[in-house]
Amino acid sequence: MHCPIAPINVATSASPSPSAYIKPGCFRESFDLTCDDTHSPPRLVIDGLDAIQIIFNISLQPAELTIRRNASRVCYNATGYVGGRNTYIAAGPMRPFRFSTRNRFTVIGCATFAYFESGASYYVSGCVSLCRNLSDFVSCTGVGCCQSSISPGMWFYQTGFDDKFNKSTIADSSPCSYAFLVDESKFKFKVSDLKRTDDFMMPVALNWTIRN
């Protein structure tokens, strides 16, 4: 069977691969990729996760692909909580995708404790970000930003924020706190990130494999 390869705007290290075929009906189960030509240039999308995802990069060695997901956030003003959003990613235990250990759970904010959990809360981790003295800022090591590693084999990810910190007193300097999973090679914290109030997406690396 002949199948067309992915559009040229999708980076591939080799061809063909399980995710290079985009003709309808021409895919292995859970590798349902299609070409969304309603956009210019066309986008390669996959329907094998919790929702349709745009693929930005795919490789055979290592067997990885990159998607982008919104960061979770909570925002405050002087009177208290004013809104936010929560993001999760569910690849499913029987699907071929797992989060790469190259990803880091990342938290941005002052007086912020955020955590993430895997499916059924079997694995929980997190970190605390404080801003006592931003002159002590060194990359993403706990002052304004913190990171933690993730366990191998994770297929589900959801964030949470602990509300024990009083954010209303620092709303002017850090109005929102963010938590997200990100490919560590694609993220560099800046002190100006503490002033953000918008939604943004970060690249997430997934391992893929042919499973029985």
Mean pLDDT score of the chain = 79
pLDDT computed for residue 202 by the predictor: 94
For 109-151, the pLDDT digits (tens) are 998 999 988 776 667 889 999 887 766 666 898 889 999 999 8
Those residues whose C-beta lies under 8 Å from the C-beta of residue 206, and which sit 6 or more positions away, are: 64, 65, 66, 67, 91, 97, 98, 99, 100
The token pair that represents 32 in the structure block:
């349902």
Of 40-44, 121-125, 182-186, which has the strongest mean pLDDT? 182-186
Cβ atoms of 177 and 109 within 8 Å: the answer is yes
Q: Distance between CA atoms of 61 and 102, rounded to whole angstroms? A: 14
Closest among 172, 180, 177 to 204, alpha carbons compared: 180
pLDDT computed for residue 195 by the predictor: 92
pLDDT band at 45 (very low <50, low <70, confident <90, very high): confident
Of 46-55, 73-82, 101-110, which has the strongest mean pLDDT? 101-110
The whole-model pTM stands at: 0.81
pLDDT computed for residue 11 by the predictor: 42
Checking if the pLDDT of 71 tops 60, the result is yes
Q: Distance between CA atoms of 134 and 178, rounded to whole angstroms? A: 18
115 compared with 26, residue with greater pLDDT: 115
Give the residue extent of every domain in the chain.
1-61, 68-208
Least trusted range by pLDDT, from 45-54, 100-109, 174-183: 45-54
Query: What is the maximal distance between C-alpha atoms in the chain?
Result: 63
pLDDT computed for residue 125 by the predictor: 86
- For residues 93-132, one letter each, b for 16 or more C-beta atoms within 10 angstroms of the residue's C-beta and e for the rest, the string is eebbbbbbebbbbbbbbbbbbbbbbbeeeeeeebbebbbe
pLDDT computed for residue 52 by the predictor: 59
The token pair that represents 85 in the structure block:
């959003």
Q: Distance between CA atoms of 124 and 128, rounded to whole angstroms? A: 14
pLDDT computed for residue 68 by the predictor: 87
Checking if the pLDDT of 35 tops 80, the result is no
3-state secondary structure of 105: strand
pLDDT (average), residues 4-17 = 44
Those residues whose C-beta lies under 8 Å from the C-beta of residue 182, and which sit 6 or more positions away, are: 103, 104, 106, 202, 203, 204
3-state secondary structure of 211: coil
pLDDT band at 39 (very low <50, low <70, confident <90, very high): confident
Cβ atoms of 134 and 109 within 8 Å: the answer is no
